């Protein structure tokens, strides 16, 4: 592709649509040579849901990338790159987009991958994904005129089309056989048949304990492109990948130290110093977009239905305190100065940041709260005590609210109860809530198209239900922005509005390290994927 790659995802895809000629067709590669060895991996959590479309759980996405493939990949510069797609053409002023599938793609059941499989998969994914919904709303027709051709007939040019099909934020647009992709999007699929580089071994699965993938011998990696995140050739060098679910962090650490396990996705902050001292183990941060903590307000009920009160609380946030509680004092593992887009990503800016970075003055916050009309209403804070990072943020958050003079009721419970209670739209005193804490992967906040917590659609918005028409208007303007510069301009406006409306409090960005045995090479950037890595002796 000759287009400026950064523009594709960050918004310049419009330019790509307008100018892209059919991209160079890739040569089919030879089927892969046999791999060697078994890679033993500890995932961040058990794979509770195996359908990567119905859920937004990250662990299901990682499973998804093993079993299924995507039309477009996503590289380290945040750009979409053809993956199953051989190339594409954009015609009729960007209103007709034709994507051509690579030759020789096969599903694990031996059936060829056809364009109608892709069409059905896009439709199911789009029913569940916010960006997919925008894409389909702007699509007049999505067709498969032959086995290798997918045609989008758009109502208007959609610069984000390739970025949407290749985005790694959940849910990902994985391509499934048509018969599976026709499953109701609210019902989980039951068959794990994909065309990805690994085959799911259903017979070896022990739910909650072990998940096994086997190299798919008929997978044909791209012949061209550079290996970067989910883009480029996916060459598999191991025969099997075994996921061993070890919920206890100390046991996981011991297993890695003892060589019983090769790779531990998310070592806990307290055990990282111990692992760093071990010369047989390497730690690195795979995802530079990190994880961003947020305190979410309930916008339906007092006191946080009042934007002036939400705004006043910005003055009490010390992001460093939250991040230290979550990941420790090592400054290389967290950043403050985190606005509404993750630092280091194309849309991040310093607009309005003084609200978070100016000197903290709790007496002023108290005065501002009083001036905003806060009269001591109870703030019901729900906290997940079984989720260390969320519990840490909640504890610091409670302290912050108390210092600001708010009347806090702290409800510490398990995550399962938090997710149920946060769905309640009742008043806080009647089983509802006022505030909860969570974090999002930076990739899920990288732009307004994917950032759920920036939506302002009221009752249809993410938990907290803010009504912020201005933000929605700007989001739509962002979709239409023709290039990165225009997108950044809209993003700055979005951040300005967000600091006025305050859908949530940004609490900082932290980086989760991954740990693996020395001898493993090619550990990917981004998140766990099992191609291109090799296991030495």
Binding site for other proteins (CB under 8 A): 46, 48-50, 54-57, 60, 128, 170, 184-188, 190, 206-210, 244-248, 250-252, 254-255, 257-258, 260, 386, 413-417, 419-421, 423, 438, 440, 444, 452, 460-463, 465
* Min dist. Cβ of residue 306 to other proteins (A): 22
Nearer to other proteins, 55 or 195 (CB): 55
Q: Write the DSSP assignment of 199-230 as a string of letters.
A: EE-GGG-BTTTEEEEEE-TT---BSSS--BTT
Nearer to other proteins, 258 or 332 (CB): 258
* Min dist. Cβ of residue 451 to other proteins (A): 10
Where are the alpha helices (H) located in 351-460, listed in sequence order?
354-357, 362-372, 388-403, 415-421
* Min dist. Cβ of residue 459 to other proteins (A): 8
* Min dist. Cβ of residue 460 to other proteins (A): 6
Query: Residue 495 is encoded by which pair of tokens?
Result: 């951040």
* Min dist. Cβ of residue 380 to other proteins (A): 14
* Min dist. Cβ of residue 256 to other proteins (A): 9
Nearer to other proteins, 56 or 534 (CB): 56
Residues ≥6 apart with Cβ < 8 Å to 396: 321, 322, 325
Measure the CA–CA gap between 202 and 486, rounded to whole angstroms.
Answer: 48
Nearer to other proteins, 176 or 255 (CB): 255
Cβ atoms of 97 and 90 within 8 Å: the answer is: yes
Cβ atoms of 22 and 211 within 8 Å: the answer is: no
Measure the CA–CA gap between 367 and 358, rounded to whole angstroms.
Answer: 17
Residues in the chain: 537
Closest by CA position to 188, among listed 133, 142, 259, 124: 124
Nearer to other proteins, 450 or 486 (CB): 450
Nearer to other proteins, 34 or 203 (CB): 203
Eight-class DSSP state of 125? H
Query: Residue 148 is encoded by which pair of tokens?
Result: 């290798």
Nearer to other proteins, 16 or 172 (CB): 172
Residues ≥6 apart with Cβ < 8 Å to 354: none
* Min dist. Cβ of residue 77 to other proteins (A): 24
Closest by CA position to 172, among listed 504, 526, 510: 526
Nearer to other proteins, 203 or 537 (CB): 203
3-class DSSP state for residue 80?
A: strand
* Min dist. Cβ of residue 213 to other proteins (A): 17
Nearer to other proteins, 92 or 184 (CB): 184
Eight-class DSSP state of 29? P
Residues ≥6 apart with Cβ < 8 Å to 386: 414, 415
Rounded to whole angstroms, what are the CA distances from 152 to 11, 119, 136, 178?
18, 10, 10, 18
* Min dist. Cβ of residue 419 to other proteins (A): 4
3-class DSSP state for residue 23?
A: coil
């Amino acid at each position: 592709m000759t287009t400026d790659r950064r523009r594709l995802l960050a918004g310049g895809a419009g330019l790509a649509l307008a100018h892209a000629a059919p991209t160079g067709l890739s040569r089919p590669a030879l089927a892969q040579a046999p791999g060697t060895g078994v890679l033993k991996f500890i995932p961040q959590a058990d794979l509770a849901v195996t359908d990567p479309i119905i859920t937004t759980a990250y662990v299901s996405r990682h499973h998804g990338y093993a079993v299924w493939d995507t039309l477009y990949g996503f590289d380290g510069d945040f750009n979409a790159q053809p993956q199953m797609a051989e190339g594409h053409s954009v015609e009729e002023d960007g209103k007709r987009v034709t994507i051509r599938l690579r030759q020789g793609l096969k599903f694990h059941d031996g059936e060829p991958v056809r364009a109608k499989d892709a069409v059905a998969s896009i439709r199911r994914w789009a029913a569940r994904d916010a960006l997919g919904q925008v894409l389909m709303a702007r699509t007049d027709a999505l067709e498969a005129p032959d086995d290798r051709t997918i045609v989008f007939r758009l109502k208007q040019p959609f610069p984000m089309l390739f970025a949407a099909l290749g985005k790694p934020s959940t849910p990902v647009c994985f391509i499934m056989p048509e018969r599976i992709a026709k499953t109701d999007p609210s019902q989980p699929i039951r068959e794990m048949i994909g065309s990805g580089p690994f085959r799911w071994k259903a017979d070896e699965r022990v739910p909650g304990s072990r998940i096994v993938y086997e190299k798919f011998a008929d997978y044909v990696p791209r012949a061209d492109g550079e290996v970067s995140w989910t883009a480029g050739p996916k060459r598999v060098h191991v025969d099997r990948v075994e996921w061993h679910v070890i919920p206890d962090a100390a046991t996981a650490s011991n297993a890695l130290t003892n060589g019983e396990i090769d790779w531990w996705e998310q070592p806990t902050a307290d055990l990282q110093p111990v692992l760093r001292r071990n010369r047989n183990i390497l730690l690195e941060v795979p995802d530079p977009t990190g994880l961003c903590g947020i305190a979410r307000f309930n916008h339906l009920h007092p006191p946080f239905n009042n934007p002036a009160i939400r705004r006043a609380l910005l003055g009490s946030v010390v992001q460093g305190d939250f991040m230290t509680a979550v990941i420790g004092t090592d400054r290389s593992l967290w950043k403050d100065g985190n606005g509404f887009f993750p630092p280091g990503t194309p849309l991040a800016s310093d607009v309005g940041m003084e609200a978070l970075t100016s000197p903290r003055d709790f007496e002023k916050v108290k005065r501002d709260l009083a001036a905003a009309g806060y009269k001591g209403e109870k703030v019901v804070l729900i906290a997940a005590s079984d989720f260390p990072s969320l519990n840490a943020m909640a504890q610091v958050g409670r302290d912050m609210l108390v210092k600001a003079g708010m009347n806090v009721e702290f409800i510490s419970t398990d995550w399962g109860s938090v997710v149920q209670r946060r769905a309640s739209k009742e008043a806080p005193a009647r089983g509802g809530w006022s505030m909860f804490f969570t974090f999002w992967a930076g990739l899920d906040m990288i732009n307004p198209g994917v950032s759920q917590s920036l939506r302002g659609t009221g009752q249809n918005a993410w938990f907290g239900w803010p009504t912020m028409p201005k933000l929605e208007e700007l989001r739509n303007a962002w979709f239409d922005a023709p290039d990165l510069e225009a997108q950044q301009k809209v993003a700055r406006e979005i951040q300005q509005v967000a600091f006025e409306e305050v859908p949530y409090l940004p609490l900082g960005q932290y980086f989760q390290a991954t740990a693996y045995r020395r001898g493993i090479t090619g550990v990917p950037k981004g998140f766990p994927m099992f191609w291109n890595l090799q296991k030495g002796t």
